[in-house]
Chain A
Amino acid sequence: MRRRLLVVSLLLVLARPFASAVPDTALPARADSLKFGVIGDNGTGDRPEYDVGQQMAAARTQFPFTLVIMLGDNLYGRQDTQDFAAKFEQPYAALLGQGVRFRASLGNHDNQRNRFYPGFNMGGERYYSYADKNARFFVLDSNQMDPRQLAWLEGALKQSSDPWKICYFHHPLYSDGGRHGSEVELRVVLEPLLTKYGVNVVFSGHDHVYERTKPQRGITYFVAGSSGELRKGDVKPSALTAAYFDQDQAFMLVEIAGDDMFFQTRSRTGRIVDSGIVHRQPLDIREAP
């Protein structure tokens, strides 16, 4: 009896850090809220991508999201018609069948012509913007941040009066991934615009792990680049890291309700590996850059 008590106590002590590291913040799934999924570096066509697709479809029964944002490397390797089927249409067949709309950004492995593929809903553009409920999404091509794209982004951000401004693109401005890490040069160019015009959240991929940073100049950065590819054990946590998961493939579920953004990150087995709430901070009360 004593021994059993000791074992249980030991297990409880060991379990504590994990329990506190993954707060179980439930997604409210309100009827009028914006709900979307997030996948990145997914297009392998391998078993794990299909597993993630199935988990997303299963999650949708409880959390009826209508949008999936894709963070680039939507297709790896050859990119012919049959590859679109094997690496995109089949893994997400259930979601596509239910009318879920995928909106892609381009990664370094994506053929630039893929912006014309109807399933990615990019309207033939490398970079574009769209609004959904109380959020506006700004989708960038981070492979090359040319002057025209930067000017377009500044114009689009300036024009937007949407409460939530969400940016997504392939290469992370902040990352503790061991293979790539933060794209500092890109950050020097992009971050001033993101902070100036009040972007709230940024999603990226490229590093094949999941990571959430502590807010940087008022912006929460997510790396969600393990929805197909995975680099196991690649995160080298730093002062920047708020949470990470690099042991299995993962995807995110996000809900924006009023001034709160609820999020859950789930592994390909459906386990919640991170969750929380990002409160929208009006631009005028954020810390000065």
Chain B
Amino acid sequence: MNHHHAAVHSRPYAGHVHHARRERGTLTRTIHRIFRFVIDRYLALPIGAAVALVWANTAPDAYFTTAHRLAFVVNEVGMAFFFALLAQEVVDAMMPGGSLHSWRRWTMPLVAAAGGIVGAVAVYWTYLYYGHEDVLSPAWPVACAVDAAATYYLLKAILPRSAAIPFALLVAIVTDAFGLFVVAPRYLVLETRIGGAVLVMTALAAAVVMRAMGVRAFWPYLVFCGAMSWLAFYWEGLHPAFALIPIVPLLPHERRTTDVFANAPDDDAVHHAEHEWHLLVQAIVFLFGLVNAGVMLNDYDTGSWAVLTAQLVGRPAGILAGVGFGLLAGLHLPKHVGWRELLVVALAASAGFSIALFFATGLLATGPVLAETKVGILASAAGLLIAVSVARALHLGRYAR
């Protein structure tokens, strides 16, 4: 009897369970799809930044207290993985078969990047000179920051399969590398000590030995050699977020032949580790946006306009002038890339966003100067929208008639 009752009642119950499982499955798939979309479209940072902006302007005390507690772990430790991943992408792409392998491809982008740097910095300094705000002068390297990933994804969307994409990436990489060398030694620390160089050499030697011993796993290099290098950088007063960069060329990796930012299939142990690394970096980038992009909207001031003008006017004008100079010097543009495409490339490279935020937090201490600089950086994302509008107006790429 009891069994019968149980059987009778179990049918609807089983139906509920089945229905609930199906709903859960759908929910999981939806979450997974959203998650994939966010990761594939490089949206973790903008989402983190948007949350930070809303939080900072609605509950500023809670936001800034939380942001300050997390700042060191995210900016000094977590971002080391971000820069290591960027370095890994560049190292891969520079290997035979990689999109950045041939030095010939570098020449024109190098000149364009130099033009962009000179243009942005010149506009920044001119703005300060006439605005009489000498206090903003330490922030000039912020003008030398291009959000390479944002540039890549935008150009991929509006100029698909164009040779303008690797060209723009090279411009971004060269520009950021320049900024990185300027920012690293200007890291604000309480005190600096000597002896870090020995520790870095030890870390590199350990990585060489591990590689010679055939260690294929990814993490021992990061945990052991990376930690040593991080300590060395911190000890010497260099920005520790760049500490993994010297280790990266020694990491076990698979060669890539695709775009720099394209995800390779997760088909072996090394790539699996890289895939995990990608996910970790996305989480870090989200936290980076959350911790650093929160500014109060009334923080805008001269520094905001200086950064914005340098990024949106100085850099694009400089890139175009650089290319003009390169052409006069006998250099060549990639095939099917003309002035119209270049204009879109130059505008797409005008947003500093993640890298600019990172440079700003490395160069400037807490205070209004940092806050107003951040406002300018966030506003420079408008360059991406302008690039889309110009591509549309010029009927380029996906907007071609």
Interface residues of A (CB under 8 A from B): 76-79, 106, 108-113, 142-149, 151, 171, 179-189, 206
A106 contact set on B, CB distance < 8 A? 135
A187 contact set on B, CB distance < 8 A? 61, 64
Known: A144-B364, A144-B365, A145-B365. A185 touches B132 (CB 8 A): no
Q: Is there an interface contact between B298 and A108, defined as CB atoms closer than 8 Å? A: no
Interface SS majority for chain A: loop
Q: Is there an interface contact between B61 and A184, defined as CB atoms closer than 8 Å? A: yes
Using a CB-CB cutoff of 8 Å, which residues 294-348 of chain B contact chain A?
296, 298, 301-302
A179 to B138, CA, bound (A): 25
Q: Is there an interface contact between A185 and B366, defined as CB atoms closer than 8 Å? A: yes
- Find the A residue at minimum CB distance from B189: A147
Q: Is there an interface contact between B190 and A143, defined as CB atoms closer than 8 Å? A: no
Which candidate, B195-203, B242-250, B368-376, is the interface stretch facing chain A? B368-376
Top 10 nearest A-B pairs (CB, nearest first) are: A146-B365, A184-B60, A144-B365, A188-B64, A111-B134, A147-B190, A185-B64, A144-B367, A145-B366, A143-B135
Known: A76-B132, A180-B298, A181-B298. A145 touches B65 (CB 8 A): no
A151 to B189, CA, bound (A): 11
* 19 pairs from A and B in contact (CB 8 Å cutoff): A79-B132, A108-B302, A109-B132, A109-B133, A109-B135, A143-B368, A144-B135, A147-B189, A147-B365, A180-B298, A181-B296, A182-B60, A184-B61, A184-B296, A185-B64, A185-B366, A186-B368, A187-B61, A187-B64
Q: Is there an interface contact between B366 and A189, defined as CB atoms closer than 8 Å? A: yes
Q: Is there an interface contact between B135 and A148, defined as CB atoms closer than 8 Å? A: no
B132 contact set on A, CB distance < 8 A? 76-79, 109, 111
Q: Is there an interface contact between B368 and A146, defined as CB atoms closer than 8 Å? A: no
A185 contact set on B, CB distance < 8 A? 60, 64, 67-68, 366-367, 371
A112 contact set on B, CB distance < 8 A? 134-135
Using a CB-CB cutoff of 8 Å, which residues 129-148 of chain B contact chain A?
132-135, 138
Q: Is there an interface contact between A188 and B370, defined as CB atoms closer than 8 Å? A: no
Chain A nearest CB from B232 CB (Å) reads 19
B188 touches A (CB below 8 Å): yes
Q: Is there an interface contact between A143 and B367, defined as CB atoms closer than 8 Å? A: yes
| Interface residue tally for chain B (C-beta within 8 Å) | 26
Q: Can you add 11 more A-B contacts, CB < 8 Å, to A112-B134, A180-B298, A189-B366?
A: A108-B302, A143-B369, A144-B135, A144-B367, A145-B367, A147-B189, A147-B190, A181-B298, A183-B368, A185-B68, A188-B61
A146 to B296, CA, bound (A): 20
Chain B nearest CB from A160 CB (Å) reads 21
Q: Is there an interface contact between B60 and A144, defined as CB atoms closer than 8 Å? A: no
Chain A nearest CB from B297 CB (Å) reads 10
Q: Is there an interface contact between B135 and A108, defined as CB atoms closer than 8 Å? A: yes
Known: A108-B301, A142-B367. A189 touches B134 (CB 8 A): no
A145 to B371, CA, bound (A): 12
Q: Is there an interface contact between A146 and B188, defined as CB atoms closer than 8 Å? A: yes
- Find the B residue at minimum CB distance from A188: B64
Chain B nearest CB from A72 CB (Å) reads 10
Using a CB-CB cutoff of 8 Å, which residues 162-218 of chain B contact chain A?
188-190
A181 contact set on B, CB distance < 8 A? 296, 298
Known: A109-B132, A147-B188, A151-B190. A186 touches B61 (CB 8 A): no
- A-contact 0/1 string along B111-136, CB 8 Å cutoff: 00000000000000000000011110
Chain B nearest CB from A40 CB (Å) reads 15
Q: Is there an interface contact between A110 and B135, defined as CB atoms closer than 8 Å? A: yes
A212 to B261, CA, bound (A): 54
Using a CB-CB cutoff of 8 Å, which residues 58-84 of chain B contact chain A?
60-61, 64-65, 67-68
A143 contact set on B, CB distance < 8 A? 135, 367-369
- A-contact 0/1 string along B352-380, CB 8 Å cutoff: 00000000000011111111000000000
- Find the B residue at minimum CB distance from A114: B134
Q: Is there an interface contact between A108 and B190, defined as CB atoms closer than 8 Å? A: no
A249 to B37, CA, bound (A): 56
A142 to B65, CA, bound (A): 18
A109 contact set on B, CB distance < 8 A? 132-133, 135
Chain A nearest CB from B56 CB (Å) reads 8
Chain B nearest CB from A205 CB (Å) reads 12
Q: Is there an interface contact between A186 and B366, defined as CB atoms closer than 8 Å? A: yes
B189 contact set on A, CB distance < 8 A? 147
Chain A nearest CB from B57 CB (Å) reads 10
A183 to B369, CA, bound (A): 11
A147 contact set on B, CB distance < 8 A? 188-190, 365
Q: Is there an interface contact between B68 and A189, defined as CB atoms closer than 8 Å? A: yes
A79 to B61, CA, bound (A): 36
A226 to B134, CA, bound (A): 22
